[in-house]
Amino acid sequence: MANDREILREVWEGKLPVCFKLHPDEVVELQQPDPFYLMVPRLSYFPLVTDKVKKHFLKYVSNDKQDHEMWLEYNGQPMKWHFPIGVLYDFLVEGETETLPWIVMVHFDKFPETQIYRFSNKEMVESYFMACLKEADVLKHRGQIAANMQKKDHNQLWLGLQNDKFDQFWAVNRKLMEVSGESEHFKYIPFRCYLEDGYKQKLVRPVTDEGKRKTLQDLLKEMFPEKTMVNVKIHGMTPPLDTPLQWMSEHLSYPDNFLHLCIF
Partner 1 sequence: MACPTTNQKTNACIGRLATAKRPKSAVLSVSWSLTIIMDTGFSYDTFEKCIQQMYAVSSSLLDGWQLENKESLDQKFLMKKQPLHLDGPDGTKFLVTFEYHIVYNICYGVPVLCFNIWKQDGCMLTLEEYWSMNANMNDSNVYDTLTQMDHPVLCRPFLTLHPCKTAEIMQPFLTKSKNLVVSWLSVVGHFVHLRLLEDYIKCC
Site residues (CB under 8 A) for partner 1? 82, 113-118, 120, 123-124, 126-128, 131, 134-135, 138-139, 142-144, 146-151, 154, 190, 197-203
Comparison of 15 and 80: residue with beta carbon closer to partner 1: 80
Give the residue with the Cβ less far from partner 1, 16 or 139: 139
To partner 1, the closest distance from the beta carbon of 246 in angstroms equals 18
In whole angstroms, how close is the CB of 230 to partner 1 at the nearest point? 15
Residue with smaller CB distance to partner 1, 199 or 264 = 199
Are the C-beta atoms of residues 174 and 168 closer than 8 Å to each other?
A: no
Calculate helix-pair angle for 166-176, 5-12, nearest 10 degrees: 120
Contacts of 16 (CB under 8 A, 6+ apart): 39, 40, 42, 85, 86, 89, 100, 101, 102
Question: Least distance (Å) from partner 1 to the CB of residue 80?
Answer: 9
Instruction: Let me know: does 241 contact 220? Beta carbons within 8 Å.
Output: yes
Sort 20 into a burial class: Cβ within 10 Å, 0-12 / 13-18 / 19+.
buried
In angstroms, give the least distance from the CB of 24 to partner 1.
Answer: 25
Q: Which is nearer to partner 1, 16 or 172 (CB)?
A: 172
Hey, is 71 helix, strand or coil? strand
| In the complex, minimum distance from the CB of residue 147 to partner 1, in angstroms, rounded to a whole number | 4
Q: Which is nearer to partner 1, 197 or 209 (CB)?
A: 197
Identify the sign of the CA torsion 97, 116, 190, 220.
negative
